Structure 1
Amino acid sequence: MKFQWRKWDGSTHWRHECVYLGSDEWGDWLGQPAGWRSDRPGKSLTVTGSSVTLVPAMQDGVGFAHSGVTSPDFAVTVNRNHPKGMRIYIDLGWDIQWSADGSRATGIDMDLDVVRVDGPSGTWVDDRDEWAEHSAAFGYPAEVMEQLEALALDLEDRVRAQRAPFDDATADRWLDALEALRLEC
């Protein structure tokens, strides 16, 4: 299966080879074992460590993050053995959804990211420069910008506090399940 990001203007962005692992109260979990590929125009890489990605569940027609949202606005990737110590990488997005046949998750990458690195760097909101540049270039609607800026700060707080599903134990369960599959590239 694939997780396909695009940009606000419809242009192709990252595409990740993944395997569907299952779901829990937080949403659907995808896995990407070491050796699988991630590509975007102009860049291709083979991942060196396992990772899992959470696509948050809808709860009573409301996105996971906060009330008033009609779709999940982010995808959380948790890495194991990342070469730079990056444990959590949250892509803030828009219109994240599953294809009708369930073979692909898609979404609009909205530039802002929340990152947690094990070590002194800690947790922060990343790519504010890209956010500013693309909001002007693509004409992001003001209400979308407001919602995602607030969400970025909320997620930063939750990641820093390591509240589920942003704690290690929640993702480690899915990372263990991924590695037990012993998938090859």
Structure 2
Amino acid sequence: MTQIKVVYTKYDGTLHWNHPGTLLGEDDHGAWVSVPAGTQASKGAEPPVTWETPIVMLFPRDGWWTATFHTPPHSFEVYVDVTTVPRWRNGEVTMVDLDLDVILLRDGGLVLDDEDEFAEHQVTFGYPDDLVTRAWETARWLLAAVEGREGPFGGAHTAWLDRAAPSG
């Protein structure tokens, strides 16, 4: 298993969430990364936070999103960021966070989050029209796929969680 760095930026290039992970492997859905409990993650220059539960992340080969699958007792089951297509280079996977998030809560609730941030950043960062269209299309597709437990959201993550290194 290979150690990597996960790096999200904002559209203007500023650093967003970033943290280490372990590349577990790939399947038809994309590349799977383990992030054990106790991992420290930073949001830009803010002080790091420590994740209390292990997760696995999915980075699709050509999708405009990334997914995080949380373990109990975390209140989120699935957290999907609408992003640019993840790119791999020199031990890093990087993508631009496009604000919109699809969240499946552990209690079954489904949320589209940060629409206000997306609207604000369209102006602040000058998102091109085609990027705005792609982000909305992706968010709508993700809402349906997560709700319907389709594709990678149908339980594919469980085998990768089983392969992940012990937390801590």
CA contact (8 A) 1:53 1:75 kept: yes
Q: 2:107 aligns to what?
A: 119
Partner of 1:9: 12
Q: Give structure 1 stretches of 5+ with no counterpart.
A: 58-62, 64-71
Secondary structure class of the residue paired with 1:150? helix
Unpaired runs of 5+ residues, structure 2, are: none
Change (3 A) 1:80 1:42: same
Deviation readout 1:29-86 (Å, 9 max, x if unpaired): 00101011111122421111110111112xxxxx3xxxxxxxx311011001243x20
1:130 pairs with 2:114: no
- Corresponding residue for 1:68? none
For residues 63-74 of structure 1, the aligned pairs below 5 Å read 63=62, 72-74=63-65
3-state SS of paired residue (2:95): strand
Identity rate, percent: 30
SS at match of 1:165: helix
- Equivalence for 1:35: 38
Corresponding position: 1:22 with 2:22: no
Q: TM (normalized to structure 2)?
A: 0.93
1:51/1:78 contact within 8 Å kept? yes
- Runs of 4 or more, structure 1, over 4 Å off, are none
Letter of the 1:23 partner, please give it: E
**1:158-173 → structure 2 map (5 Å cutoff):** 158-167=145-154, 169-173=155-159
Q: CA-atom RMSD, angstroms?
A: 1.3
Query: In the alignment, what sits opposite 1:80?
Result: 71
2:56 counterpart of 1:52: yes
Aligned-partner Cα distance in 2 for 1:93–1:163: 19
Task: State the AA in 2 paired with 1:127.
Answer: D
User: Which residue does the alignment assign to 2:81?
Assistant: 91
In structure 2, the partner of 1:182 is: 166
Corresponding letter in the other structure for 2:88:
W
Query: Equivalents in 1 of 2:123, 2:48: separation in Å?
Result: 27
> Match for residue 128 of structure 2?
141
Q: How far does residue 7 in structure 1 lie from its aligned partner after superposition?
A: 0.6
1:66 corresponds to which residue?
Answer: none
TM-superposed CA distance for 1:183, in Å, is 5.5
- The reply on whether 1:110 has 2:123 as its aligned counterpart is no
Distance 2:47 2:83 in 1: 20
Cα displacement (A) at 1:151: 1.0
Distance 1:54 1:79 in 2: 12
TM-score, reference length from structure 1 = 0.84
- 1:60 maps to which residue? none
Whole-Å Cα distance in 2 between the matches of residues 146 and 183 of structure 1? Answer: 39
> Aligned to 1:151, what secondary structure does the other structure show?
helix
